[in-house]
Every structure is written in structure tokens, then in C-alpha cells.
């Protein structure tokens, strides 16, 4: 992960989010994680790094970032939301049901299938979500 603090600061500004020290700490921690994390996991990792960030701020920042499309939200744990810094393009996720690894599927080629399925029932599709659950190379 070669993402420098400067890059992250620019990412925030570009997304219409003011780059405050706290928000940079949160985003920096997200960039450090390879898999997705819950708000509380993220908060305790920040604490281990001697950040004084409050839990409410972590929640506020994650809500803001997902609203602005900077991060993805996954709901594959029961009730608990997971957050992940992802690529910009539309994509979906592969989830390992054993080790919880998350991998991005670039190139969602489903637009035609989605449009057809929606049209068949008189719908116009505006969005679609796909999650594939399985076992990763290490776990099977």
C-alpha cells in the first residue's frame, strides 16, 4: 500500500469532504486494512496508535465517507456493518466464509442481465448489489 497521507488528503477534497486530522486518521487506517473492518475495530486500532479519536467521530466519518462514495459498506456480518476503501469503479465482492477475506471483482458484466430481469417485471433498475460467498484459495 503506497498510499501516502497526501494522496488521502486529496482524495477527501476531491470527494467534497474537508480533510481534517481525524478524518485523515480514519482514512489512513482504512487504507492500511486489507479486508473490511467494523467501526469499533477501526476505533480500537486507532486507539492502539495513540489517537484520541472518539467513537462517535469514527461513526460520523465512516457515514460521511460512504455517503460521498469514498468507501464501501458491506453487511455480511449479522447486523454489524463493515467498511472498506475500494476502487472507484462499480464492482462487487467475493467473501471468504472462513477467513473473511474480501476481494474485489472488477468488471461487473451484469448490466444486461440486470436490465432484462428488471424489465421482465416492469421495473427500471437503478442499482444492484451482488455478493459471492465462498472459500478463498487459502481456505479450501
Told to check if 82 binds a second copy by CB under 8 A, we report no
The four Cα atoms 57, 59, 64, 65 give a dihedral, to 10 degrees, of 110
Which residues of this chain interact with Zn ion, rule CB under 5 A? 96, 98-99, 101, 136, 139
> Any idea which residue has 497526501 for its cell?
6
Of the pair 31, 103, the CB lying nearest a second copy is at 103
Cα–Cα distance for residue pair 106/91, rounded to 1 Å = 5
CA distances from 120 to 115, 126, 127 (A): 9, 15, 16
* Closest CB 101 distance from Zn ion, rounded Å: 5
Q: Is 32 or 91 the residue whose CB approaches a second copy more closely?
A: 91
CA dihedral defined by 68, 71, 75, 76, rounded to 10 degrees? 160
Residue 99 interacting with a second copy (CB under 8 A): no
Considering beta carbons, is residue 54 or 69 the nearer one to DNA? 54
Residues near DNA, by CB under 7 A: 18, 20-23, 38-40, 52-57, 59-61, 63, 78-81
**Residue 63 in the binding site for a second copy (CB under 8 A):** no
Amino acid at each position: 500500500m503506497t498510499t501516502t497521507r497526501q494522496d488521502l488528503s486529496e482524495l477527501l477534497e476531491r470527494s467534497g469532504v474537508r480533510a481534517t486530522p481525524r478524518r485523515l486518521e480514519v482514512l489512513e487506517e482504512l487504507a492500511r486494512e486489507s479486508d473490511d473492518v467494523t467501526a469499533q475495530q477501526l476505533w480500537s486500532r486507532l486507539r492502539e496508535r495513540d489517537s484520541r479519536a472518539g467513537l462517535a467521530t469514527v461513526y460520523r466519518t465512516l457515514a460521511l465517507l460512504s455517503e460521498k462514495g469514498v468507501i464501501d459498506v458491506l453487511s455480511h456480518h449479522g447486523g454489524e456493518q463493515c467498511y472498506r476503501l475500494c476502487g472507484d469503479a462499480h464492482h462487487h465482492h467475493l467473501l471468504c466464509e472462513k477467513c473473511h477475506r474480501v476481494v474485489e471483482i472488477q468488471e461487473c458484466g451484469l448490466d444486461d442481465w440486470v436490465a432484462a430481469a428488471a424489465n421482465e417485471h416492469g421495473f427500471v433498475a437503478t442499482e444492484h448489489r451482488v455478493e459471492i460467498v465462498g472459500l478463498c484459495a487459502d481456505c479450501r
